[in-house]
Amino acid sequence: MAQQLTRWGAAAVCVVVAAYAAPAHAQPEFGALSEDEQSLVNAGLLGAKESFEAGDYERALDRLEEVYAIFPHPKILLRQGEAHQSLGNDAEALARYERFVEESPDDADAPEVQGKIVHLRNRLSEASSTLAVKTTPPGASVVVRKDGEEVARGTTPLELKVRAGSYSLEISRPGYIAQTERVAMKYKEKAALVYELAQPPAVQEPGALQWTLVGIGAASSIAAVGVGSWWISEELRWYELDDEIKGADDAEKQRLIAEQRAIVTPNNNRALVFWTTAGVGVATLVSAWLLWPDDEATVGVTPLPGGGAVHVHGRF
């Protein structure tokens, strides 16, 4: 670590000197930057050095990424790799180291970085991390995937040896809601995951009351249609007779008036029956709809002085 901090102490100088001294690999030139950009690069490298020495590797990495956006020099990739490695992000560190060697193979640090690359590749290839999964209730199926490909499966309680990296877990059990989880595993990390499986809401079935209301409502509606058709046809006949009376002689007129009067009382009764049966049909069907089981609707009775009131939530 002391050797690493010494390098960070000279980071700004190394980057600037390397930028002038290694044109063969098409590396960016510090002198091509504007004065403002040069100031930002120097300030960013200094801030990254101070953060790294203070153990704030995340802040150091943020400053290095800001610098790299202005001045994408391989030396900055090297420093990013060191920050990622200090954070335990081996895969990210490996990617930075590989890019550094690719872009700057003749750099004095390249042989040492090659050694780090070999070490990290070996470490990342080992199934050295432990992933334990438990569920309540147990017996759930777990499918573990990495980059979309299945790498393991089992039944809880389950304990697996996995490599460092990001994994997706699919947890399912008949009669319970399936869950999907993402887990990032570090080198030699032990992760114990516990999941409380939830059952889906119970499906409510309509009872005898609801079906009785539907039956009454349907029968009443059918009766209302029949009586209503009869009532309307007789009402139309009454108006036809009224037109015939206007052009009839006295004898015919008396007969037509008598026929017209014979229609009135029965048809008034038909009208009463129609409105009654129609009202019963609509009321019972609406009641059945309101009382029909619904996970999002509740129906209850609120007691009030001298009576009660039905309240319905979630229907409107």
What single DSSP character describes residue 204? P
Give the model confidence (pLDDT) of 48-74 as tens digits: 999 999 999 999 999 999 999 999 999
ω into 157 cis (within 30 of 0): yes
Residue 25 pLDDT? 54
Q: Exposed/middle/buried for 167, CB within 10 Å: 0-12, 13-18, 19+?
A: buried
How far apart (Å, rounded) are the C-alpha atoms in residues 188 and 127?
8
What single DSSP character describes residue 284? H
Q: Report H helices in 247-297.
A: 250-291
Residue 312 pLDDT? 45
| pLDDT under 50: residue ranges of the chain | 1-6, 9-24, 297-316
Q: Exposed/middle/buried for 282, CB within 10 Å: 0-12, 13-18, 19+?
A: middle
Residue 10 pLDDT? 43
Check if the beta carbon of residue 30 is closer than 8 Å to that of residue 71.
yes
Kind of pairing between the strands at 307-313 and 298-304: antiparallel
Give the model confidence (pLDDT) of 30-42 as tens digits: 888 899 988 999 9
Which residues in 87-114 are b (16+ Cβ under 10 Å) and which e?
A: eebbbbbbbbbbebbebbeebebbeebe
Check if the beta carbon of residue 217 is closer than 8 Å to that of residue 284.
yes
Kind of pairing between the strands at 190-196 and 129-136: parallel
Residue 26 pLDDT? 64
Q: Which two tokens stand for residue 97?
A: 């180291």
Give the model confidence (pLDDT) of 236-254 as tens digits: 888 888 888 887 888 888 8
Helix (H) / strand (E) containing 202? none
How far apart (Å, rounded) are the C-alpha atoms in residues 19 and 31?
8
Residue 263 pLDDT? 85
